[in-house]
Amino acid sequence: MKLYIQLAWRNIWRNKRRTIITGASIFFGVVFSTVMTSMQEGSYAQYIKTIVNSYSGHLQVHKAGYTDDKVINNSLEYTPEIQTEIQKIDKITTIAPRLESYALASSSDLTKGVMVLGISPSLEDKITSLSKKMTSGKYLTNGDDGVIIGSSLAKYMQLETGDTLVLLGQGYHGISAAGKFIVKGIIKQPSPELDRTVVYMDVNQCQNFLSAENLVSSIVIMADNNDDVDQIKKQLTSVLGKGFEIKDWKEINRILLTQIESDRASGVIIKGILYLIIAFGIFSTAMMMTLERKKEFGVLIAVGMKKFKLSFMLLAETILIGFLGCLTGIMASLPIVWYYLYNPIRFEGQAAETMTQMGFEPVMSFSIEPSIFYTQAIVILIISLLIGLYPIAHIRKLKISKALRS
C-alpha cells in the first residue's frame, strides 16, 4: 500500500501546474470557510456569554409550574438542604438565589412600573459582575437595606445616590408591600430593558418587603463550562425530584437560540456553494488525469497490475490533492484566526450603537475551537472520496485492447 501511495504522490506532480491550480482552489476555499466559520462561532459564543452573564445564568431552578405562571405565589422555599444537595454536584461554580416581583416605583410626582429583584450581592456579582457596572454610589453588601437602580431608570425618575425611592406592590399571598429605600448606587446595564426596569435589593430585604420569608423565585446556577450544562441539568433533575423545574440557558433564551440557528443555517448554505465549486475543480482534475492516461492504464493492466490496485492508486491521487489543499488552507487560516481571537474587529458608528442597544459589546469575536478546523478536513475527504469513484468506475469498465490503441 505504501508503494501505491508513493506512486500516487509522484503522479500528481507529473503535471505540476494542474495540481497547483486545483490545490489553490481548495486552499482559498478552506481559508475562506474556516475564517467565516470562526467568525460565526465566535460571535455566537460572545452572544451566549453576554446573555448568560447579564441575567439568565447557565441554569435556573424553579418551583414546578413557575415558568407558566411567574408570580410570587409560585416561589420555592430555599432551604439549607436544597443548597447542600446542589453544592454536591460537580462542575458548579456559583449558586445564587433570586426573588423577583413587580412594583410601582415612585419619586416625587413620577411613577413607573419596575421589576424588584432580590439578590445575594456577593453571589450575584460572581454571575453578572454588577459591581463593575456601577456608575455612581456603592454596590450592595449582604444585608444592605438600600437599592441600586439602572441609569435609565434613575434618569427617568430624576434620582441620584442618596435619594429615596418608594415601592408599592403586592407581596406573598396578596399581602400589601410598601417601603422606602435609599438609592445606594446607580448601574449601567448593557441591556436597555434591564437598565430602565430593574431595582436590585438584598434578597433578605426583598423577602421582608414582600412578606416572603425564606422564599425565592429562582436559584441561578453557573457551570465551569457551557459544555457541562446538560450533564448538570440531568443531575439536578435526579437530585431535586418532581417538585422542581430546571431550565437551562437555551430554554430561557429561546429567541436568541432561534436567531443563532437561523444564522448558522445561512452560513451552511454559503459554505455549501463554496464546497460545490471546490468539488467541480477536483472533479475536473480527476477526469483529466483519468482520460489522458488511458494508454498508460492499459499497459499497466496488460503487464499484470490488478484493476483494484490501479483504482486505489487513482483514488489516492484524488485524496492527496484534496489533502494538500486542505492542509495548506488550515495552516494559512490559523494565524488569521489566532490574530483576530485576541484582536477582535470593533464596530463603529450606527452598527456599534445598534449592538450596544441590544446589550452586546460592539465587536466581532472569533473562535479557535478545534472542530472549526477538522471539519474542513472531513468535508474535503468526503468530497475527494466521492469524486474518486469516477476513476474507479472508469478503470472497471476499461478494455485493454481499446486502451492500448488510444
Q: What is the pLDDT of residues 106-142, one digit of tens each?
A: 988 889 999 999 999 999 998 888 888 899 999 999 8
Query: How far does Cα 185 stand from its chain's mean position?
Result: 33
Residue environment code for 367-382, b if the CB has 16+ CB neighbours within 10 A, otherwise e: beeeebbeebbebbee
State residue 120's pLDDT score.
Answer: 93
Residue 327 cell numbers, joined? 492542509
Strongest mean pLDDT among 149-158, 249-258, 301-310, 395-404:
149-158
State residue 192's pLDDT score.
Answer: 78
309 has pLDDT over 70: yes
State residue 154's pLDDT score.
Answer: 92
**Exposed / middle / buried, residue 397 (Cβ in 10 Å: 0-12, 13-18, 19+):** exposed
Whose cell is 462561532? That residue is 41
Whose cell is 407558566? That residue is 68
180 has pLDDT over 90: yes
Residue 269 cell numbers, joined? 448554505
Q: How many helices (H) and strands (E) does the chain have?
A: 16, 14
4 has pLDDT over 90: no
- In which element (H, E) is residue 146 found? none
> Model confidence over 341-381: pLDDT tens digits?
888 888 777 766 766 666 667 778 888 888 888 888 888 88
3-state secondary structure of 140: coil
> Model confidence over 241-265: pLDDT tens digits?
788 999 988 888 887 778 888 888 8
Residue 152 cell numbers, joined? 435609565
> Model confidence over 310-344: pLDDT tens digits?
888 888 888 888 889 899 999 999 999 999 888 88
pTM: 0.74
Cβ atoms 404, 302 nearer than 8 A: yes
Cβ atoms 352, 38 nearer than 8 A: no
Domain range annotation of the chain: 2-52+256-405, 65-241
104 falls in which pLDDT band (50, 70, 90)?
very high
State residue 356's pLDDT score.
Answer: 67
**Exposed / middle / buried, residue 346 (Cβ in 10 Å: 0-12, 13-18, 19+):** exposed
**Exposed / middle / buried, residue 189 (Cβ in 10 Å: 0-12, 13-18, 19+):** buried
Q: What is the DSSP string of 256-280?
A: HHHHHHHHHHHHHHHHHHHHHHHHH
User: Strands 147-150 and 176-187: what pairing?
Assistant: parallel
388 has pLDDT over 90: no
Helix extents (H) in 78-144: 80-87, 121-128
